[in-house]
Structures are given as structure tokens and as C-alpha cells.
Amino acid sequence: MSGSPVWHYTLAAITWLGFGLATAALPAEVDGQPLPSLAPVLEQVTPAVVNVHTRTRVQVRTSPFFDDPFFRRFFDMPTVPRERVQQSLGSGVIVHGSEGLILTNNHVIDGADDIAVTLQDGREYSAELVGADRDTDLAVIRIRAETLDELPLFDSDRLRVGDFVVAVGNPFGLGQTVTSGIVSALGRSGLRGLEYQNFIQTDASINPGNSGGALVDLAGRLVGINTAIFTPSGGNVGIGFAIPASTARHVMAQLVEFGEVRRGSLGIEVQDLSGELREALDIESNGGVVITRVRPGSALAEAGLRAGDVVTAIDGRPVANSQGLRNIEGLLAVGTQVTVSYLRDGQPGEVRVRIEEDLDARISGQRLDERLDGVLLVRIPDRSRALGVLVEDVRRNTHAWEAGLRAGDVIVAVNRQAVRHLGEMRGQFPVPADRELSLEIRRRGVAYLVLL
């Protein structure tokens, strides 16, 4: 093979480097004092970090009509002629040993047909999906195993810029790897595809395959879940991101209890404050967001807030911008009481409100009908002026997926009854289990009928 000389040269180089390192190894002690080492900490941490392997069977179709549920059903087209298996690797952290609960990234297991977990000691287990949250890129999977080490979530709010951290994961499928660095920044946002963003930025090397792995401090405490890197070239450039443990704790608790994250809502739409708006609203502080719309019947509508008011803090946590407000709002537990600080005509005020779940904004299909299990339904943004209900996600291998429903579809009728928004769609349920459930959808401007 033409590549063989390069391969042998590389092996020779590695062998020579290994010999050089072995003969020039540092002493264990200097003047009787042991050299500092992370080894004792890592001996406690690494058994709880696992490799996550997924397999996804991708259907390969010979005709574009296979994607059309109408043609598939009424012309009795054959099922999948062939399929291709895609495999991917990632990482995870055992956070509850007795329950076998593993925290990882949603994008590691998203769409997977099979999930397997390999422990540090070589044991391998099949894993089941407990729940996943695309908006924070977190997922919980479970394995049935004995004597599992665990790494409980720590209070990441104690982190400071400059703290030393260690990333543990499975980069490029090489096996468990440890890298170190510092906390470069806190509260980072701006990554595409995620609704709630409050990342820890670190220069500890995070590469493909590290996703879902552990970010720990020098005491071996789990402070984050590695999730992404910023890279113009595809390699590590010293800018990695981890989801804070405080966020992961809240999301995991709901995934374990409900299989989904049920989020509360303040019921407002906001925008960032420009210099001109600050001057017009007599706002001297740098933070805050201005309310552009208060939804009727929402918590803040009942409390008397209105368009033009400036929200400055939630429960004492400053609101810097609209993304910051979404981050706080997304972690508010349904049913809790919070204090909202605001400015009106330059004068401060506070209201105490109860956080309620906005079922007209987002709901899992399973809560409407078992046949819609794995479907996530959301309100179409008001500014689009489109009618119907947006299908944000459909989990693979569910009844709805097999029937042909896909993310991006817009449901415009249920059992031939038009629905203009999510509230009207909820009003069409329950549908008796012995009665067929039909959904009229729009997909890229074309109408289809999906039968469940």
C-alpha cells in the first residue's frame, strides 16, 4: 500500500518518543517532596465516566415518493428496500450509581436506534433512553448494572473564571482521555440550535467524542457536562463549552420524573435595550430587557405589568439581555413563586408571581394522546402569522414516526377539524383509542394526511 511507509514512520516516531520519555521521566520527588499530580483525583473520577456508542439505521429509498405518507399508504408501496447503519461515539457520566442513571448530551443519542455503554473496566451494557431535552442538549440514559461508581452533580454556581478544571471523555473514539485547563469564561451564549444557553467556557481540550463527558474541578467534583467546541477548522483551538451542573441538575430531575422538561413561562415577549431605548425609557443601568408584549392571562399580565416596562431581575438574578431572561425562565420550576424586579418610567417596582406551564406554547404529544408519544408540539411564532401547530420534533421508531409525521410539519386540522393554534388543537382531545386519529399537515407548502 502506498500509505504503508508513512504508517511505519509514524510507528517508529512514536516508539522513539516513547523511549525518550521513558528514559527522561521526571522523578517522583524533589528534595523529598512529592510532585503535584492529578492522579489521585482522577482515580476517583474516571470510573464514573463512560463511553457511549450509538447505532442508527438510516432508510435508503429509491424513490422520493417514499417520503410521502399519502403515496405509501394508498399505493401500498413496499417498505424500506435497504438501510444503512450509522455509528457514533460519545461520552457520559454516571451520576446515580444505584439507579444506573447516566447524563450525556442529547446530540450524542438523538435519533439512535441502539445505545450501548462501555465502562472504564470494560463492561458493556445496553442502555435505555429515560428522556432528552433538545433545548439544553441534555439526555438521561439508564443501564442495569451492579456496583457502579458515580459522580454526583456539584454546585457549578461556585465556579470562578480562572479555576482549574479537567475534562474527561472519549475523543475520536480513542478511549478515555483526560485534559486540563481553566475556566475561561462563564455565562457564554451564542451557539446555534439551543434555546437555553449559559455555558462554561474552558481551554481544556474538548474534541469530537468528548461530548457528554465530565468537566470536574481539582477536588474531582462534577461542575459541567462537556458539549461543544468553537473551531474554524474542525480541531480544538482552546475554546470548549460545558453545560453547568446547576442546569443539568434541574433538567435531569424533570427528565427522570416526566421523561421531558416541563417549563414555566412568565408570558412576555421582550427585546434587548439599545442606547436609544435606554434614553427614551430613562434607563441608566446597563442590564434589563424591555417588554414588547404581555400575553393575556399570563402570570405577569395578572400582576399588572405591561409593554414598555423593563425587567431587570428575577429572584435577585440580574437580567442582562433577552437570552439571559430565556435562560432564567427555562429553569423556573412550574408552580414556584418568583419575584420579578422591573422599572416603569424610571421607577423601580417588584411583583411576586407564580410560574405556570404555558401549554399553549409547547406540549409533548404524549400528554394529548398515546399515539403522539415522541412528538413535540409548539406554537408558531406570532410574527409569522401562519395558522396551525408546528411539529418541532418526532422521535424515531415511534408510532407517529412510522405513520410519516416529521419535524417541521405544520398540523392544520385534527380529525377534519381545523386548528389555528395549539390551544385549539388541545381542545380536540381526548380522542377515543378505538377511533382513528387523522392529522392534516402542511409540509413545504404541500398538504398531506397522516393517520394514526
Which of 205, 211, 298, 364 is the catalytic position?
Answer: 211
Which of 110, 133, 135, 137 is the catalytic position?
Answer: 137
Q: In whole angstroms, what separates CA 149 from the centre of its chain?
A: 24
What are the pLDDT digits (tens) for 69-101?
655 555 555 544 566 667 778 899 999 999 999
- Exposed (0-12), middle (13-18) or buried (19+): which is 199, by Cβ within 10 Å? buried
- Closest CA relative to residue 92, chosen from 157, 28, 36, 142: 142
Does domain 156-246 sit in CATH 3.40.50.1860?
A: no
* Confidence bin at 333 (pLDDT 50/70/90): confident
Other Cβ atoms within 10 Å of 282 Cβ, number: 11
Which of 88, 107, 364, 409 is the catalytic position?
Answer: 107
116, 125 contact by CB (below 8 A): yes
* Confidence bin at 12 (pLDDT 50/70/90): very low
- Exposed (0-12), middle (13-18) or buried (19+): which is 329, by Cβ within 10 Å? buried
> Using omega within 30 degrees of 0 as the cis cutoff, is the peptide bond preceding 430 cis?
yes
Specify the CATH number of the domain 264-357. 2.30.42.10
Query: Which residues contact residue 279 at a Cβ distance below 8 angstroms, ignoring those fewer than 6 apart?
Result: none
* Per-residue model confidence (pLDDT) at position 336: 86
Task: Please check the confidence at residue 16 and state whether its pLDDT lies above 50.
Answer: no
- Spans of all domains in the chain: 44-142, 156-246, 264-357, 362-451
What are the pLDDT digits (tens) for 125-155?
999 999 999 888 999 999 999 889 999 999 8
* Confidence bin at 10 (pLDDT 50/70/90): very low
* Per-residue model confidence (pLDDT) at position 27: 57
Same fold, 44-142 and 156-246: yes
* Per-residue model confidence (pLDDT) at position 370: 92
* Per-residue model confidence (pLDDT) at position 77: 52
Other Cβ atoms within 10 Å of 322 Cβ, number: 17
Fold for domain 362-451? Pdz3 Domain (2.30.42)
Residues in the chain: 452
Task: Please check the confidence at residue 21 and state whether its pLDDT lies above 80.
Answer: no
What is the C-alpha separation between 345 and 234, in angstroms, rounded? Answer: 49
Which of helix, strand or coil describes residue 288? coil
What is the C-alpha separation between 365 and 194, in angstroms, rounded? Answer: 21
Name the percent of the chain lying above pLDDT 90.
Answer: 39
Specify the CATH number of the domain 44-142. 2.40.10.10
**Mean pLDDT for the stretch of residues 194-203:** 84
> Is 211 an annotated catalytic residue?
yes
* Per-residue model confidence (pLDDT) at position 23: 42
> Is 434 an annotated catalytic residue?
no
118: left (phi over 0), alpha (psi -120 to 50) or beta: beta
